[in-house]
């Protein structure tokens, strides 16, 4: 019996122990409960999203009819796939991407290659977002609130001038100081346009000589490479002259910004024209819309007429096409309203400079300064910086560009999208300034993606950010005549980091954080540049070595 019991005990030990059924049941019940809770939460969020979409659709149907059109997607979409035609038509209403379809793709390999190509920019006759939104009474009320803000700033300046200074200046002193030597800037601007027009004839000469050298392939390559080197050199000289003249003429901030921004715009326009048409010349494409013109130019490369190039120089776009969608007439009342908005915001900037920026930082370097004083000044600049940020967007991307579009009957007014609803910095950068973003995408990102980094979107995006950050810093640095790369750090380091960190952010919290970071970032940026400017002005600093020039005056004033 003892032997049998030991044998049974050994068999029981040899057999694997079954888990406790109660423990397993508890685990399964907890798992089921957790799954049901997650499912209910996800289902609740999905139902809330559907109800929110229905409410938004109903709101658009009654209050925003311009956004409820059947072609809404095509109206507010900016690009199409590469299968869309490349040329453009000059129709009054419609797409500016031609009507002739490309020939069908024959092989599977070429089809895969075609699918890998990046989408192309299209031009469509459409109004700006705010032009459509301001047709709604609720949005017009917000527009009127900004009018009242302007009036309040004006009353503030009037009261201060009368009770403190005993006179009325109305910000005209800021205009006189900021626009000094503007006639020199206009002279340089005219000479720059002469240079830009000369580039057209140089490009035409390159195309004709290249065609004549077609039987001699080695001479043709030598000619093209030599012209490419001359073109790059001319662009570098153009950039160098505009920046060096800011220092030579000792231009004030506003005049320097006008010169540098116009020089940058012309530089981007020249590259867009050369980049777009050089590809056509190298591929041997000619214009096909007019058979008579094709006979006259048979055997010669097609170069757009000078009228197309001249219109492009003044059109509010940085993407070259032979023609664009045009409006049927000029709305003079609309154009006058946009011009008055430009003047009003300019006065608002003068008021903010006199009553806030100068008041907060005018004595920097002459008064005691510690961390507590700096924090108070930073928070004192929060609201004025937010107004500067929003009004700067409205001034340039809405009022000024719509004003020039109306005078030129330029049809595509999508200079920006609804960036204020973005919940990621990726979407914000794409929608904030569509004009510059399209140029960076078309002539920098696509070339980097295709020829330099060969399929790496991250590397191409980083290159675009670095180039944009350098140009922003170059404009601010030379306009203020200082080396203080805060803009480069905010744009090229912090901005790039936030693009990757916020890609999975929830919509509501992402949008809240976006606005918080924009207001705080702009206040910090404006405050730091103002402190550096007044530190250089008020502190008697020596620049005996390069280290003295590189160290910020903000630091050297109190150390």
For residue 207, what are the contacts with CB-CB under 8 A and spacing of at least 6?
277, 281, 301, 303
Q: Tokens for 129?
A: 């977002």
Give me the phi and psi of 265, to 5 degrees please: -60, -45
Question: Is residue 421 within 8 Å of residue 515, measured between CB atoms?
Answer: no
Spatial CA neighbour of 472 closest among 429, 420, 413, 520: 429
Spatial CA neighbour of 242 closest among 290, 191, 313: 191
Indicate if 360 belongs to the active site.
no
Spatial CA neighbour of 310 closest among 201, 439, 184: 201
CA dist., res. 86 & res. 95, Å (int): 11
Question: Is residue 164 within 8 Å of residue 362, measured between CB atoms?
Answer: no
Catalytic residue among 77, 271, 358, 472: 472
Instruction: Give the dihedral sign, CA 365/367/370/371.
Output: negative
Q: Which residues pair with 326 in a beta bridge?
A: 410
Q: Tokens for 215?
A: 């039987």
DSSP string of 234-302, one letter each residue = HHHHHHHHHHHHHHHTT--HHHHHHHHHHHHHHHHHHHHHHHHHHHHHHHT----S-HHHHHHTTTS--
Question: Is residue 479 within 8 Å of residue 546, measured between CB atoms?
Answer: no
Question: Is residue 268 within 8 Å of residue 198, measured between CB atoms?
Answer: no
CA dist., res. 254 & res. 481, Å (int): 12
For residue 11, with 0-12 CB atoms within 10 Å meaning exposed, 13-18 middle and 19 or more buried, which class applies? Answer: exposed
Q: How many CB atoms lie within 10 A of CB 257?
A: 19
For residue 454, what are the contacts with CB-CB under 8 A and spacing of at least 6?
none
Residue 528, helix vs strand vs coil: helix
DSSP string of 173-187, one letter each residue = HHHHHHTTTHHHHHH
Catalytic residue annotation:
472
């Amino acid at each position: 019996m003892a032997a049998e019991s030991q044998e049974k005990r050994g068999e029981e030990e040899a057999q694997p122990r079954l888990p406790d059924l109660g423990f397993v049941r508890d685990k399964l019940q907890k798992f089921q409960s957790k799954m049901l809770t997650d499912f209910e939460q996800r289902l609740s969020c999905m139902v809330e999203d559907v109800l929110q979409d229905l409410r938004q659709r109903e709101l658009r149907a009654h209050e925003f009819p311009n956004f409820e059109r059947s072609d809404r997607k095509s109206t507010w979409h900016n690009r199409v796939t590469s299968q869309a035609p490349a040329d453009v038509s000059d129709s009054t209403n419609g797409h500016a991407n031609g009507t002739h379809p490309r020939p069908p793709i024959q092989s599977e390999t070429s089809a895969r290659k075609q699918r890998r190509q990046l989408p192309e920019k299209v031009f469509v006759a459409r109004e700006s977002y705010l032009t459509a939104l301001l047709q709604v009474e609720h949005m017009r009320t917000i527009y009127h609130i900004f009018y009242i803000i302007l009036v309040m700033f004006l009353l503030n300046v009037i009261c201060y001038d009368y009770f403190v200074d005993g006179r009325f200046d109305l910000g005209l002193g800021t205009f006189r100081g900021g626009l000094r030597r503007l006639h020199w800037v206009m002279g340089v601007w005219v000479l720059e346009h002469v240079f830009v027009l000369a580039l057209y004839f140089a490009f035409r000469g390159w195309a004709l000589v290249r065609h004549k050298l077609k039987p001699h392939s080695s001479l043709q390559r030598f000619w093209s490479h030599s012209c490419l080197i001359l073109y790059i050199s001319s662009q570098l000289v153009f950039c160098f002259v505009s920046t060096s003249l800011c220092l030579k003429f000792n231009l004030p901030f506003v005049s320097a910004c006008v010169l540098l921004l116009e020089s940058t715009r012309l530089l981007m326009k020249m590259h867009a024209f050369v980049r777009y048409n050089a590809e056509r010349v190298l591929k041997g494409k000619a214009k096909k819309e007019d058979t008579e013109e094709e006979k006259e130019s048979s055997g010669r490369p097609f170069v757009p007429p000078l009228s197309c190039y001249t219109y492009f120089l003044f059109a509010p776009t940085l993407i070259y096409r032979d023609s664009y969608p045009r409006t049927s007439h000029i709305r003079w009342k609309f154009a006058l309203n946009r011009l008055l908005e430009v003047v009003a915001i300019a006065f608002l900037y003068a008021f903010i400079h006199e009553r806030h920026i100068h008041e907060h930082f005018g004595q920097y370097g002459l008064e005691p300064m510690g961390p507590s004083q700096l924090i108070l000044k930073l928070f004192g600049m929060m609201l004025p910086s937010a107004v500067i940020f929003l009004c700067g967007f409205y001034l340039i991307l809405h009022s000024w560009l719509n004003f020039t579009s109306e005078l030129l009957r330029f049809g595509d007014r999508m200079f920006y999208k609804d960036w204020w609803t973005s919940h990621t910095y990726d979407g914000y950068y794409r929608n904030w300034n569509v004009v510059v973003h399209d140029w960076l995408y078309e002539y920098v990102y696509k070339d980097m993606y295709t020829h330099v980094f060969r399929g790496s979107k991250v590397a191409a995006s980083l290159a675009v950010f670095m180039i944009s950050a350098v140009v922003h810093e170059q404009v601010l640095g030379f306009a203020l005549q200082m080396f203080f790369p805060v803009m480069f750090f905010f744009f090229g380091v912090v901005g790039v980091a936030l693009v990757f960190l916020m890609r999975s952010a929830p919509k509501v919290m992402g949008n809240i954080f976006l606005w918080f970071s924009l207001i705080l970032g702009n206040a910090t940026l404006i405050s730091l540049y103002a402190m550096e400017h007044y530190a250089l002005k008020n502190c008697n600093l020596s620049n005996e070595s390069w280290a003295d020039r590189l160290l910020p005056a903000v630091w050297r004033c109190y150390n």
